[in-house]
A and B are shown apart, each in its own frame.
Chain A
Amino acid sequence: MDRRSRPKRHEESRENSRRNPTTRTIRREAIRLEDVWVAYAGSGKPAIREINLFFPLGKLVLITGPNGAGKTTLLETCLGLLKPYRGKAFLLGVDTKSRKILEARRKCSYVPQDFMKPPYESYTARQAIELGLVLENTPDKNTRVEWAAKLLGIEDLLDRPLGTLSGGQQQRVYLARALARKPLVMLLDEPFSSLDRETRKTVAEILRNYVDRENTTVIIVSHDTAPIIELADTTIWMNEGKVVKVEAK
């Protein structure tokens, strides 16, 4: 090892950390949950409990289970939208209760379960995707929008108002927005719910390829395991707020 280069690298790393505080904490982990318990106000019982999970970068993870198993709660806890009352949750190495969580979230993408917009929604598909890039200072926003739209097969819909699109088309717009952000972690809540069988398969393959190419972690919550279960690196089964089975390939 070249000893002279050591201090330089160290200085460079310190400079990077100063510029971006999350660089310090982002290593190879996407999500870490340590004995996490989450409850909704007034419910009287935890929605999820005793959750211990670790997802490194570059993995495709499927979380499945019946209705009320706590899948969405788990996903929102990973993002820090819900805070654990016991245990700790880390997103890209950042404690979700820390103020730096906003910076960590900027490196992530999310597709919510309740995405449908009313028929009078006037934002176009292009604007909806662009709104996911508002915090980015890159000049290639338009290229990214068109790349993601082409990937999801919605390039012809870009200038149509979102309200005029079908549920499946709107869901693909949200997926395109998630991909256009070029995230380190993607958290997708029932991303296949409005897609037909053929499109599900295509989208699942797009996500698998994206994980392999970009070293991104994609976490998919879905009560329906097909077709992603065959492509996932890890499958987690949940029931009554607990992880009941973890299967890694």
Chain B
Amino acid sequence: MLTLAAAAALVSGGLCGTLGYYIQRFKITTLSFSVAHAALAGAATALVAGTDPTYTALATAVVFALTIGLLSPKIPHERELLSLGFFSLFNALAVLMIYLSNVYVLSSASISVVLWGSLLAVTKPKLVVLTGTLVLFTAYLALYRKQIDAILFDKKLAEAEGINVNLHTLTLLLFSGTAIALALKLTGGFLVFTLLYNPVATSTKISKNARKQQILSTTIGALTALTGLAISYLLDLPVGASIALTSTTLLLTAHTAKTITEKTQLTKLKTTPSQQTTK
């Protein structure tokens, strides 16, 4: 069981870390944020419907990713606000569904999946699907590497040169929705997006080089998920919160280290000319 959970943590952490890098570079963070909460609302609906939360989460995330992905090119200026509107809607739906489900189940395994994640939730078939998604995403990146690179370099220029930016954005949102729905059982619905955003945010604090950021984001995603899982197992804490706290601690540490380094460099620059003048 622990080996399965460790493998799921590594795969989902790595997959979400990589996706997070592309989401940030494509500037669709808010869109994917609302997709993550669509998955949460879907999982919460399963509590009332009595179905498997993974399937309902997957269905709502994919349908919503398709909808927002097709709609957003038509409303480029309003898409951020619209995404935030959907974010509120899905949160409200999730809370409503939890309220409508039997309150006595709050401590049961099914509700823990929606709220704080569970080690027990990982099964072999779900790990296979998660790994399959990682393989598919890696294949997609390899196949369209140059077009994606052109978009990362300059999105508007790539669009002007005939690259189908909207299609790649939609594909990325669909992969995000799928990865979120699959990782949701491990971390819980309210914390799943930390797997997406914290690794890339940390990578930008460590390096300014885009290629290094991508490698760092994947590595940090996989390692923080694994470390969080270990902390959860050793201290008997909720797995989602443990992963989120680990990755947030790393992000804050990287941010503090970067701030100190920059201030030290600035102080050195300020003092250097005056020393030269004295000499």
Q: Do A and B bind each other?
A: yes
Q: Which residues of A are interface residues toward B (Cβ below 8 A)?
A: 40-42, 79, 81, 102-110, 112, 115, 120, 122-123, 128, 131-132, 134-135, 181, 187
B161 contact from A41, A109, A115, Cβ within 8 A:
A109
B153 touches A135 (CB 8 A): no
Q: Which residue of B lies closest to A41 (CB)?
A: B77
B78 touches A103 (CB 8 A): no
- Known A-B contacts A41-B77, A112-B157; the reply to A131 vs B146 at CB < 8 A is yes
Total number of B residues with any Cβ neighbor in A under 8 Å = 23
- If A81-B156, A105-B161, A131-B146 are given as contacts, then 14 extra A-B residue pairs at C-beta distance below 8 Å, sorted by A number, are A79-B160, A102-B164, A103-B162, A106-B161, A109-B161, A110-B161, A112-B157, A112-B160, A115-B154, A128-B153, A131-B150, A134-B149, A135-B162, A187-B160
Mark interface residues in B67-85 (1 if CB within 8 Å of A CB, else 0). Answer: 0000000011110000000
Cα(A120)–Cα(B153), bound, Å: 13
A120 touches B208 (CB 8 A): yes
Contacts of B163 in A (CB 8 A): 102, 134-135
Q: Does B141 contact A (CB under 8 A)?
A: no
* Closest beta carbon of chain A to B99's beta carbon, Å: 37
> Could you list 11 A-B pairs, sorted by A, with CB under 8 Å?
A41-B75, A81-B156, A105-B159, A109-B161, A110-B160, A112-B156, A112-B157, A120-B209, A131-B150, A131-B158, A135-B163
Mark interface residues in B154-180 (1 if CB within 8 Å of A CB, else 0). Answer: 101111111110000000000000000
Cα(A41)–Cα(B76), bound, Å: 9
* Closest beta carbon of chain B to A163's beta carbon, Å: 9
Cα(A132)–Cα(B159), bound, Å: 11
- Among A79, A110, A187, chain B packs the most CB atoms within 10 A around the CB of A110
- Known A-B contacts A122-B211, A128-B153; the reply to A102 vs B77 at CB < 8 A is no
